[in-house]
């Protein structure tokens, strides 16, 4: 008896995830770098192309589904997490990614974002943070700096800005990370870490809008500033930064942290060792506030990755199975006619 030989599976490439649509972002926009990174990473995940879904809301970032050769939904302002949750709940086998911006996800979509994170829905959320409303031509956003002068705040914004990382950790997201549009290798590695996480994965991507907020992150991305103002987090490695890797973060007696200069008796063994898998979010939350303190660096990489928590879609579908096993599949017609009903003549 002969057995048929299946043809070998052709590996996917970046080109397989590119569409024939003209990419309509402003020349020089950071969105191009993010799109390139995602299209490069997807083929490496070992997932069939037809099992990917990209969901977006409204904003420049939300054109993402048009440029990804996958299934996708371009939804409405702020509602991408809600629509993506519905997809993942009914089809937990699909790989669902959300592309959103600082305005889309943290203003009108703020509630959807935090509730999706607290439920631990198995979505991968890419939040493009350029500190401005780009699509609507330069109004201040929830992440714009205090006293930011824009078209909607000509005398300076009075709002205290959101820290997206702190917000996600405060919602007890089980995976929280940060990268930068122009740090391509780091961004790709961060996306791979997010893809490997089972529950909600929240990735803030610091991104430039060269038309309405050029230089939004210049103090971090400018070549000479990177090593002094950026601290790259690595699990189980000491928190070290600086051009000569001669600065670090040490825990104080009162539980707070401080920046120390290595040398004169201070070594890497005195520093905090990064624990991305800490079960409580308090440590990651402490890291997320470093950048707001004088002399402290901005952390990038995975701040938190804790997989010991059930996914919302798994719990929901198990509950449905348990109820059906106990009470039967149900009768929709009977349900509609149950309880208080009225016959209108």
- Mean of the per-residue pLDDT values for the chain? 94
Same domain, 114 and 263: no
Residue 320 lies in a domain: no
Q: What is the pLDDT of residue 2?
A: 56
Quickly count: other Cβ atoms within 10 Å of residue 240's Cβ.
19
The answer to whether the beta carbons of residues 130 and 253 sit under 8 Å apart is no
Distance CA 52, CA 69 (A): 9
Same domain, residue pair 188 and 209 = yes
Are residues 52 and 65 located together in one domain of the fold? yes
d(CA 316, CA 300): 33
Residue 56 lies in a domain: yes
- Average pLDDT on 261-279 reads 96
Would you say residue 109 has pLDDT above 60?
Answer: yes
Asked if residue 268 and residue 184 are part of one domain, the reply reads no
Same domain, 218 and 261: no
Same domain, 254 and 161: no
Q: 250 and 116: one domain?
A: no
Place of tokens 């209108």: 344
Residue 329 belongs to a domain: no
Q: Is residue 258 part of a domain?
A: yes
DSSP state of 105: I
Residues 279 and 269 placed together within one structural domain of the fold: no
Q: Which residues have a Cβ under 8 Å from the Cβ of 168 and sit 6 or more positions away?
A: 117, 176, 202, 204
The answer to whether position 3 is within a domain reads: no
263 plus 176 within the same structural domain: no
The answer to whether 167 touches 102, Cβ cutoff 8 Å, is no
| 199 occurs within a structural domain | yes
The answer to the question of residue 332 being in a domain is no
Query: Per residue in 152-196, pLDDT tens?
Result: 999 999 999 999 999 999 999 999 999 999 999 999 999 999 999
- pLDDT band per the 50, 70, 90 thresholds, residue 335: confident
Residues 149 and 252 in one domain: no
Q: Among 216, 246, 273, which residue terminates a domain? A: 273
Confidence check: pLDDT of 241 > 60: yes
Pairing of strands 95-101, 71-74: unpaired
Domain housing 109: 14-234+275-312
184 and 108 both lie in a single domain? yes
- In 3D space, the residue among 256, 258, 331 whose CA is nearest the CA of residue 297 turns out to be 258
Domain for residue 9, yes or no?
Answer: no
Q: Is the pLDDT reported for residue 321 higher than 70?
A: yes
pLDDT tier for residue 1 given thresholds of 50, 70 and 90: low
- pTM confidence score: 0.93
pLDDT value of position 225: 84
**268 and 299 belong to one structural domain:** no
Report the number of distinct structural domains present in the chain.
Answer: 2
- Listed in sequence order, the residues at least 6 apart from 151 whose beta carbon sits closer than 8 Å to its beta carbon are 137, 138, 139
- Confidence class for position 334, pLDDT limits 50, 70, 90: confident
State the average pLDDT over residues 268-290: 96
The Cβ-side half-sphere exposure at 13, using a 13 Å CA radius, reads 2
């Amino acid at each position: 008896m002969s057995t048929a030989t299946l043809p070998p599976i052709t590996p996917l490439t970046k080109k397989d995830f590119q569409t024939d649509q003209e990419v309509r972002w402003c020349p020089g926009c950071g969105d191009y770098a993010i799109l390139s990174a995602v299209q490069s990473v997807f083929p490496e995940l070992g997932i069939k192309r037809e099992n990917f879904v990209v969901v977006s809301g409204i904003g420049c970032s939300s054109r993402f589904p048009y440029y990804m050769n996958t299934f996708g939904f371009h939804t409405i302002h702020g509602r991408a997490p809600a629509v993506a949750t519905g997809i993942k709940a009914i089809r937990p086998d699909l790989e669902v990614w959300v592309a959103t911006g600082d305005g889309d996800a943290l203003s009108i979509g703020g509630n959807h974002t935090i509730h999706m994170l607290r439920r631990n829905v198995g979505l991968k959320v890419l939040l493009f943070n350029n500190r401005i409303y780009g699509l609507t031509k330069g109004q201040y956003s929830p992440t714009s700096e205090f006293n930011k002068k824009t078209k909607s705040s000509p005398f300076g914004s009075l709002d205290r800005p959101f820290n997206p990382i702190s917000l996600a950790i405060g919602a007890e997201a089980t995976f929280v990370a940060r990268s930068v549009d122009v740090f391509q290798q780091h961004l790709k590695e961060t996306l791979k870490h997010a893809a490997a996480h089972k529950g909600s994965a929240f990735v803030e991507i610091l991104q430039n809008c060269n038309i309405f907020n050029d230089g939004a992150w210049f103090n971090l991305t400018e070549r000479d500033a990177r090593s002094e103002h950026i601290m790259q987090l690595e699990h189980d490695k000491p928190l070290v930064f600086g051009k000569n890797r001669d600065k670090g973060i040490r825990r104080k007696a009162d539980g707070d942290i401080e920046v120390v200069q290595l040398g004169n008796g201070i070594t890497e063994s005195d520093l905090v060792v990064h624990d991305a898998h800490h079960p409580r979010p308090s440590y990651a939350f402490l890291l997320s506030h470093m950048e707001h303190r004088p002399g402290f660096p901005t952390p990038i990489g995975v701040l938190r990755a804790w997989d010991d928590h059930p996914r919302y879609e798994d719990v929901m579908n198990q509950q449905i199975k348990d109820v059906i096993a106990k009470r039967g599949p149900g009768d929709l017609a009977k349900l509609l006619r149950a309880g208080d009903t009225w016959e209108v003549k």
